[in-house]
Structure 1
Amino acid sequence: MVQQLECSFQKSKITPFAEKLENPLSKQKISTLQINLGKRCNLACSHCHVDASPKRTEELSPEICQQLIAIIQKFPQIKVVDLTGGAPEMLHGFRPIVEAARETGKEVIVRSNLTIYFETGFRDIPEYCARHQVRVVASLPCYLEDNVDKMRGNGVYEKSIQALQWLNKLGYGHDPSLMLDLVYNPPLPTSEKFSLAPPQEDLEQDYKKFLKEHFDISFDNLLTITNLPIGRSKFHLEKYQLHQKYLGFLEQNFNPDTVDNLMCRNELSIDYLGNVYDCDFNQMENIPAKSTLNQKLTVTDLLKADNLDVIQEVKTANYCYGCTAGAGSSCGGALT
């Protein structure tokens, strides 16, 4: 892997993230609807902030699915429908939401673990995604086998490579209408030598060179994402007594230039119960979005209001330093 920026950091008192900002983090016009379809997954990755696994059963209900389709059809301001999980492809509502979004001309993103393609009942997913021109954003936290399998489980790297080759044969990574992006996560630390992701453009070239030379794989973009200290990442940090020190490291690397581009500012994150959050991380930490009347919101409320822009200020927490450290981090990769 590319050499990473490392830092040993001792600070224990964290400045509340809201105090680091010059002004409250304001919500902008909503253009992205990110939907977490549930927590069921065929994998149980060590860095998963959703705490998804094959043992989880939570997923979207038919009622909430219909409400989400109504929102997708009702609001042309939504440009992107971003589907996550769990493994979104195996959860209720995946196909109906994909089709409703594509029928209304919206871009659809599916955040895939790639290995789902080899599970019984889901082997048509690559062809389905290609047919509907779904943008595939696939987790591949390293281009080396050992690193991937340590984070995601034995055999995951081999299946991921096979899945990427499968997608390439369908046109992904070659056809501009079939976008294929990969996601890099730094390894979880076991000491105080913390690191941010390497520069996204440089690491992308390393990924492309290695995957092309060894497996004849092509893809469009590499997205570097910081491990936020929530979910299993937080449990891991606490195990090594690193949680507060890691937060301090992220605060030390706070970059104010990232704030204008934060994904939470123009998206709504919806959970499988229909509750509304500013982002997927707040969803996992159960920090709901609030209306201008300081009320929690659901998809039912959005439909009744006939308005998606009912949130004035984004709710923040100290893990927001993860999105604003260094070059920044978002579901779309680096921010600067």
Structure 2
Amino acid sequence: MIQTAFTPFQTKLGTTLTKKKITVLQINLGKRCNLACSHCHVEASPKRTEELTAEICEQLIELINRFPQIETIDLTGGAPEMNYGFKQLVEAARAKNKEVIVRSNLTIYFVPGFEDIPEYCVENQLRITASLPCYLEDNVDKMRGNGVYNESIRALQWLNRLGYGKNQNLRIDLVYNPPIPNRDKFGLPPNQKNLEQDYKNYLKEHFNVEFNQLFTITNLPIGRTKLFLENRKIYQPYLEFLESNFNRETVENLMCRNELSIDYLGNVYDCDFNQMENIPAKTRKGEKITVAKLLEANSLDIIEQVQTENYCYGCTAGCGSSCGGSLV
């Protein structure tokens, strides 16, 4: 069997990937979720119980209060709305006039006890980034579970009635993920602008749904996607495919460079993907970083070098991929 040459990501990069000034805190509030999506790199589900503690929540609020350089608080999960600390962090951030993004699965609005979330988002002018991996029902339900598409459409209609997608202070963005790759068909997300228009046309025509932007995100080979690929013995070929599409122009805008990713235990990572693979951010001396250490140092900028792995090819392939979609 002929072995395909594979270049480690750090070798391909040819230089150290350095941190810029930190302006974004992305906080994973826990793994509790009402869904168990097949592509979820967090491996969240209704059976997971891990979530933020009161102690770590207070430390995070102190970060928000202490550092004016923070522009955005990005709340994720699991379903962030289900996990401890969601409203406390929202209100602390909005009191300091920070942008707050909540990464929602939309279906949470129909879970008993969370029906107030859409109105709460309006009151606090939260920017909602919602997963809708396709504008067609069958594709969404295959990835996320039966009935998820219809609930997502109902949620979007609800948000539209409240002003989301129409009022400039109420932004709702959607996220596209390609189907999990199989042996016969590896692919990158299509052109983001063109696909956004397809989404807008279809959702408007069929459901009278409006939204602001579409973000296209590449499937990184971690979490459930990695398990899927390994079970089919195509993990290495998929990495090779991503490497073959490496685009150096994406490197300048990589999200890991100006953000800190923080887990529910208060550990700090360069990005959400490193968090899921348990690769912590480190100081110049090689020490692991926690929220407590940031407070002790009285600085968010104590990381010099971003920790990279071969799955970083997923963020640098084609037009690039980040939590805010394409990079170039």
Same fold judged by TM-score > 0.5? yes
Q: CA deviation at 1:14?
A: 2.2
What is the alpha-carbon distance in structure 1 between the residues aligned to residue 240 and residue 182 of structure 2?
A: 16
Where in structure 2 are there 5+ consecutive unaligned residues? none
**Which moved further from structure 2: 159-168 or 14-23?**
14-23
Alignment of 1:75-94 (within 5 A): 75-94=67-86
Q: How many residues align?
A: 327
Q: Secondary structure at the match of 1:195?
A: coil
Query: In the alignment, which of 172, 175, 184 is matched to residue 183 of structure 1?
Result: 175
Alignment correspondent of 2:319: 327
Q: Give 1:24-35 correspondences, 5 Å limit.
A: 24-35=16-27
Return the alpha-carbon distance in structure 2 between the equivalents of residues 117 and 12 of structure 1: 47
Alpha-carbon distance, 1:23 to partner? 1.6
**Residues 1:216 and 2:208 are matched in the alignment:** yes
Instruction: Indicate the SS of the match to 1:191.
Output: coil
CA distance in 2, matches of 1:14, 1:112: 36
What CA distance in whole angstroms lies between the structure 2 residues aligned with 1:287 and 1:252?
A: 25
Structure 2 CA distance for aligned equivalents of residues 114 and 287 of structure 1: 30
SS of the equivalent of 1:251 reads: helix
The answer to whether the 8 Å contact 1:39/1:87 transfers is yes
Which string of whole-angstrom CA distances, capped at 9 and with x for unpartnered residues, describes residues 282-324 of structure 1? 0000000000111000000000100000000000000000000
Aligned residues of 1:41 and 1:86 also touching (Cα < 8 A)? yes
Match of 2:250 in 1: 258
**What letter matches 2:314 in structure 1?**
G
d(CA) in 2 for partners of 1:12, 1:138: 38
Write out per-residue CA displacement over residues 100-123 of structure 1, whole angstroms, 9 at most, x where no aligned residue.
Answer: 000001000000000000000000
5 Å-filtered alignment, 1:231-250, equals 231-250=223-242
What is the DSSP-based 3-state SS (H/G/I as helix, E as strand, rest coil) of the residue aligned with 1:167? helix
What residue number does 1:306 align with?
Answer: 298
* Distance in 2 of aligned mates of 1:281 and 1:12: 26
Aligned counterpart, 1:42? 34
Q: Percent identity?
A: 69
Partners of 1:91 and 1:248 lie apart in 2 by 37
- Matches of 1:289 and 1:11 in 2, distance apart? 33
SS at match of 1:301: helix
1:270-281 mapped onto 2 (5 Å cutoff): 270-281=262-273
* Off by >3 Å, runs of 4+ in structure 1: 10-13
- Give the TM-score of the pair, scaled to structure 2: 0.99
Asked if structure 2 preserves the Cα contact closer than 8 Å seen for 1:192 and 1:242, the reply is: no
Pairwise mapping of residues 1-336 of structure 1 onto structure 2 (< 5 A)?
12-336=4-328
Q: Work out the CA distance in 2 between the residues paired with 1:250 and 1:144.
A: 26
Q: Report deviation, 1:193.
A: 1.8
Unmatched runs of 5 consecutive residues or more in structure 1: 1-9
Cα distance change of structure 1 residues 232 and 64 upon mapping to structure 2, 3 Å threshold = same
Distance, in Å, in 1 between the alignment partners of 2:327 and 2:181 is 23
Q: Describe the superposition over 1:37-72 as per-residue Cα deviations: whole angstroms up to 9, x where unpaired.
A: 000100000000000000000000000000000000
Residue matched to 1:6: none
TM-score (norm 1): 0.96
- Report the Cα offset of residue 11 of structure 1: 6.4
SS of the residue 1:136 aligns to: strand
**3-state DSSP of counterpart to 2:186:** strand
CA–CA distance in 2 between the matches of 1:166 and 1:233?
31
Q: Distance in 1 between matches of 2:253 and 2:124?
A: 29
- Give the letter aligned to residue 295 of structure 1: E
